[in-house]
């Protein structure tokens, strides 16, 4: 009994000592073939671990947690980044606190380095966005880096909630917000920042456990040259150290024919793709049947094609999109390509749309042998019939006279 109590005490002491940092993900070694595993899994035996402050950890499946990695298996795994859609892997996720991303404390990038001037450093690197190897930073080239900054002043931030009453407003309407700090025992001075260009004191009321409201006139917001314009709002503590998650809303200046629809923001109307049959008996390449159109003529877009593993096969950043449906004919899939579900994407700085298509191999049109009589078997069948007949005659009992 004493040994059990001592072990429990040692375990609790170890937990307290390590409470400041937790293991986010573990990996095998610092090579391009390194695999990953979830530290919480008993089978995870990798000694190299990425550590983060416990305040930024999250439990997958619970409110307030965001998936950052999807693993192919609990251990010895490849990984998908959170930015991959649709994901290759589900069921073995690595999560962090939602406030990590709402507050801008972490991000993924293909850049050669993280933004050190703003306090970010690299936690780990991936060989690709999906189905990737994971290792120490600067192992891969190119490398999809995960960059974070964890200022100590933000480790004990209170929970701050901000909501907006609806997502679309006309200029002149009052934009209504609700806010509270549900776990705070002391009222907190807060300010709201909208799109970094507009700053407002929320109200005379401080943020506390009781939900309170305030409004701003949408005509006070800086529309710039956009109509409609998408705004982002956040609630900050007075010292700027802590913040709520972002909330989004749109403001529109009505035109002569009424309210301008979101079509004006996203120029891309649609994209579709036809399934492909790849002739496995020849070397003829197949044109992909990607069709696309836009709400306006002469819009410059980019197109990318991804294979079934999420790898980029082709990118063209200078595609002209018009109101008439067009077919993309500048890329072909080889007959030696992998069968599976491919993805095509058309995008610009304002929006992105995707389509999927299946590529399968032609199997030929030869007639099945089961449907064709084999003439060589006729003598064999006849011989078998004779043998069976003889056996049957010999087994017939003789009649008594």
pLDDT in tens, 142-188: 999 999 987 654 446 788 899 999 888 888 899 999 999 988 888 88
Domain 268-362 has CATH 2.60.40.1930: yes
Most confident of 20-34, 92-106, 133-147: 133-147
Residue span(s) of the chain under CATH 2.60.40.1930 come to 161-263, 268-362
Supply φ then ψ for residue 388, to 5 degrees: -60, -40
Q: How many CA atoms lie within 13 A of 216 on its CB side?
A: 22
Which residue has better confidence, 196 or 277? 277
Mean pLDDT of the chain: 78
51: β partners = 23
CATH of 161-263, one of 3.30.67.10, 2.60.40.1930, 3.60.9.10, 3.40.1010.10: 2.60.40.1930
What local confidence, expressed as pLDDT, does residue 401 receive?
43
Say which DSSP state 398 is in: P
Burial class of 347 by CB neighbour count within 10 A (0 to 12, 13 to 18, 19+): middle
**pLDDT at 298 > cutoff 70:** yes
**pLDDT at 62 > cutoff 60:** yes
Of residues 340, 366, 354, the one with CA closest to residue 278: 340
The CA-based dihedral angle spanning residues 384, 387, 391, 396, taken in that order and rounded to the nearest 10 degrees = 90
Supply φ then ψ for residue 369, to 5 degrees: -65, -20
Q: Rounded to two decimals, what is the model's pTM?
A: 0.39
Supply φ then ψ for residue 206, to 5 degrees: -85, 160
232: β partners = 248
Say which DSSP state 6 is in: H
Of residues 224, 212, 226, the one with CA closest to residue 184: 212
Q: Among 4-8, 92-96, 150-154, 173-177, where is mean pLDDT lowest?
A: 4-8
**Contact status, residue 179 vs residue 160, Cβ threshold 8 Å:** yes
């Amino acid at each position: 009994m004493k040994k059990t109590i001592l072990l429990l005490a040692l375990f609790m002491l170890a937990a307290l000592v390590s409470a400041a940092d937790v293991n986010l993900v573990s990996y095998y070694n610092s090579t391009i073939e390194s695999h990953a595993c979830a530290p919480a899994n008993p089978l995870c035996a990798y000694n190299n671990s990425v550590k983060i402050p416990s305040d930024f950890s999250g439990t997958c499946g619970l409110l307030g947690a965001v998936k950052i990695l999807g693993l192919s298996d609990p251990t010895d795994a490849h990984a998908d980044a959170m930015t991959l859609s649709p994901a290759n892997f589900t069921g073995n996720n690595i999560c962090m606190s939602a406030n990590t991303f709402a507050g801008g404390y972490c991000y993924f990038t293909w850049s050669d380095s993280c933004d050190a001037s703003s306090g970010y450093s690299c936690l780990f690197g991936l060989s690709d966005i999906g189905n990737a190897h994971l290792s120490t930073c600067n192992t891969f080239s190119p490398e999809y880096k995960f960059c974070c900054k964890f200022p100590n002043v933000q480790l004990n931030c209170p929970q701050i909630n901000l909501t907006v009453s609806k997502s679309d407003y006309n200029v002149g309407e009052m934009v209504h917000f609700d806010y509270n700090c549900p776990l705070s025992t002391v009222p907190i001075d807060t300010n709201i920042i909208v799109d970094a260009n507009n700053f407002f004191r929320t109200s005379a009321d401080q943020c506390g456990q009781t939900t309170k409201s305030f409004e701003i006139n949408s005509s006070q917001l800086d529309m710039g040259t956009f109509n409609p314009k998408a705004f982002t709002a956040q609630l900050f503590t007075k010292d700027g150290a802590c913040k709520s998650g972002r909330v989004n809303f749109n403001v529109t200046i009505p035109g002569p024919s009424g309210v301008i629809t979101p079509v004006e923001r996203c120029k891309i109307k649609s994209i579709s793709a036809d399934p492909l049959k790849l002739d496995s008996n020849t070397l003829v390449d197949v044109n992909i049947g990607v069709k696309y159109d836009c709400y306006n003529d002469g819009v410059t877009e980019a197109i990318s094609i991804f294979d079934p593993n999420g790898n980029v096969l082709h990118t063209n950043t200078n595609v002209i999109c018009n109101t008439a449906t067009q077919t993309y004919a500048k890329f072909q899939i080889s007959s030696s390509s992998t069968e599976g579900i491919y993805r095509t994407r058309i995008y610009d700085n304002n929006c992105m749309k995707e389509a999927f298509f299946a590529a399968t191999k032609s199997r030929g049109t030869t007639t099945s042998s089961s449907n064709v009589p084999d003439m060589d078997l006729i003598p064999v069948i006849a011989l078998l019939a004779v043998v069976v007949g003889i056996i049957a005659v010999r087994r017939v009992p003789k009649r008594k006279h």
